[in-house]
Amino acid sequence: MTQEDNDRGDKAVSETVGFILLFGVVVIGMSFIYVTGYPILQSNMDSSIFQGAEQSFIVMQSDMKMVSFDQTPVKNMNLKLHSAGMWIDSTPFMNITYNGTSTHYPIGKIEYIKEEKSLAYENGAVMAQYDTGSKIMLSDPRIYSTVIGGDDITTIGLVQVNGNGGSSGSSVITLKMEHNDTVLTRTDVPVNVTMVMNSDYAYVWRDHFEDIGFTTDPVNTNATYLKAYKNDTFLIIGHNIVDTIIT
């Protein structure tokens, strides 16, 4: 074997070793990017999906408003779950007492849950709970106070979600909303009102009722019970029942 053959052999070995080293560096680099970058990518995807669900619940609120006031008798909304779940829950309720009479309203809610985050349409409002545990009201209900001619007027627009059903996974679900009934009650004289509410979002509801002039008992972030009071106010209650089903 000549010196030239030896040189050629050494060169071939060097090129092979170089290729193996380069390939190893590429594999290690790609593995590092996958290990460190994939969780960030997945987190961004999950955040984008949840933000899309938030917008869908705002649209749902608008649809519910039209159905509950019988502006349109029926509405259907489609939503892709993306490894989440959505159910109708009949647990939440509100009791309103004035003039010695208490009325029970089973308001219910529609709830969307994705891992540690959740959304709820409840009594005309849209609420969110994030993975940090914080809860906020994304969009207000039709519950407010006004002063007209020196008279304080409190309007409580109740939306009762009447129905059942739910689904989880990554399928496309359909929420059907259909007007059932509306009952309007109003007082002829100012009254003292006591309102009791059972809700996983009692802490958020407390802020809303305080903003419109109610006095509330103390509640913490995880409370499910709220009691609020308001004196010397004309009261208007619109009890709107919407039949709902998730398929």
Q: Is residue 100 part of a domain?
A: yes
pTM, two decimals, is 0.81
Q: DSSP states of 103-158 as a string?
A: EEE---EEEEEETTEEEEEETTEEEEE-TTS-EEEEE--SEEEEEETTEEEEEEEE
Q: Name residue, tokens 């090129």.
A: 15
More confident residue, 27 or 154: 154
Question: Looking at the predicted structure, is the pLDDT value of residue 211 above 80?
Answer: yes
Question: What digits encode the pLDDT tens for the residues 53-74?
Answer: 999 999 999 999 999 988 889 9
User: Per the structure, how many domains does the chain have?
Assistant: 1
Q: How confident is the model at residue 41 (pLDDT cuts 50, 70, 90)?
A: very low
According to the model, what pLDDT value does residue 220 have? 84
Rounded distance, CA 242 to CA 244, Å?
6
Q: Are 145 and 153 in contact (CB under 8 A)?
A: yes
Residue 20 in domain: no
Q: Is residue 178 part of a domain?
A: yes
| Bridge partner list, 245 | 164, 176
* Mean pLDDT calculated for residue range 227-232: 97
Distance of CA 119 to the CA centre of its chain: 2
Label residue 32 by pLDDT band (50, 70, 90): low
Residue 26 lies in a domain: no
